[in-house]
Amino acid sequence: MITAGDFRNGVIFELDSQVYKVVEFQHVKPGKGAAFVRTKLKNVITGAVLEKTFNPTEKVQETQIDRKDMQYLYNDGETYYFMDNETFEQLPLSKEDLGDTLNYLLDNMVIKVLSYKGKVFGVEPPMFVELEVTYTEPGFKGDTSTGASKPATLETGYVVNVPLFVEIGNKIRIDTRTGEYMERV
């Protein structure tokens, strides 16, 4: 069991025989009255979003989610194929199943496929990925004191803001949780 006061983004639990993932949470302590936890929850099976408030001491059943490492093989336009590294079975996933992970997906990359009672509901890319810059405008000399940034297109087609010193051909590290530039490698 987990209390609502312990909610964090990404926590998965069961409520009213449905499985939810915490998308956003906020601990609220009003001047008058008792504290409460305001949450935005996503049903992991249907994708429906629900806003609900909880008493911080309210308990919910934490749910066991299967996380399995799978290797990205190829796509045929709409469907992306992943291979289980232990059984070598292939799993087809749609663009909707992958979501933002498509921005970071490279051939042979290993990701975690999330499932509940055999039904896949999401994927988790590695926390950091290294991608090559395929296009960006050149930076201007002397324009470094402002901490300015410019857009850069990566090898996956994802566009991210980078510092002015980053050039075409550079490899950069991206934080997949925020989608932001971390450093040049």
Q: What is the CATH number of the domain that holds 139?
A: 2.40.50.140
**Where residue 34 sits, what CATH number does that domain have?**
2.30.30.30
Give the H or E element holding residue 97: helix 95-98
Q: In terms of domains, do 58 and 70 share one?
A: no
Query: Final residue of a domain: which of 104, 124, 144?
Result: 124
Q: Are residues 152 and 117 part of one domain?
A: no
Range of the domain at 113: 66-124
Domain shared by 120 and 132, yes or no: no
CA-angle at 82, arms to 49 and 84, nearest 5°? 105
Asked whether residue 144 falls in the same domain as residue 132, the answer is yes
Q: Are residues 138 and 177 in the same domain?
A: yes
111 and 151 share a domain? no
The domain tally of the chain equals 3
- Does residue 73 share a domain with residue 105? yes
Same-domain status, 116 and 133: no
- Residues 96 and 54 placed together within one structural domain of the fold: no
Q: Of 36, 62, 88, which residue is a domain's last?
A: 62
pTM: 0.72
Question: Does residue 57 sit in the same domain as residue 73?
Answer: no
- Token pair for 116: 């509940």
Q: What is the full per-residue pLDDT of the chain (185 aa) written as tens digits?
A: 889 888 988 888 988 888 898 889 999 998 888 899 999 998 888 888 999 999 999 999 988 888 899 999 999 988 999 999 899 999 999 888 888 888 889 999 999 998 888 888 788 899 999 999 999 988 766 555 567 888 999 999 999 999 888 899 999 999 988 889 999 88
pLDDT at position 143 is 57
From 77, 106, 124, give the residue that closes a domain: 124
- Name 144's Cβ contacts closer than 8 Å, sequence gap at least 6: 164, 165
d(CA 127, CA 106): 14
